[in-house]
Amino acid sequence: MQHLMKPVLGVAMAALLMTGACKKEDAVKEEGGQEKDVFGSLTVDEVETRLKATRDGKDKLFVYDNNGRERYAQSHVPSARWVDFKSVKVEDLPADKDAALVFYCANEH
């Protein structure tokens, strides 16, 4: 599976947990006054490992492709679901609030 994921996620600037869209306001103060991102990021290999763990029932990870429908149809991470980044709805997301969500897209700008 790794050979399928690397080209897609390499173009997608790696798998991101919304980090690309984060601003300074998306940080929270930790004890001691240091800022911590409320979102995080994962490498391609970390996503692959977590997807395997999810298949084995040891993790809860959902991957969402935010590219256009055409690009999604051409190639996407195995098990990724397409979602329109401009109008994500509650019903698009898993009911399990403990699950990790990975959103990715290709940013050519």
Inside any domain, residue 9: yes
Per-residue pLDDT of 4-62, as tens digits, reads: 444 444 333 333 333 333 334 455 566 677 777 778 889 999 999 999 999 999 999 99
Inside any domain, residue 76: yes
Number of structural domains the chain divides into: 1
Query: Which domain, by its residues, includes 47?
Result: 2-20+39-104
Inside any domain, residue 62: yes
Residue 13 φ then ψ, to 5°: 60, 40
**Range of lowest pLDDT (25-29, 70-74, 84-88, 105-109):** 25-29
Inside any domain, residue 33: no
User: Looking at the predicted structure, is the pLDDT value of residue 77 above 60?
Assistant: yes
DSSP string computed for 33-51: S-EEESS-B--HHHHHHHH
- Determine the Cα–Cα distance for residues 41 and 47; give it in Å rounded to an integer: 10
pTM above 0.75, yes or no: no
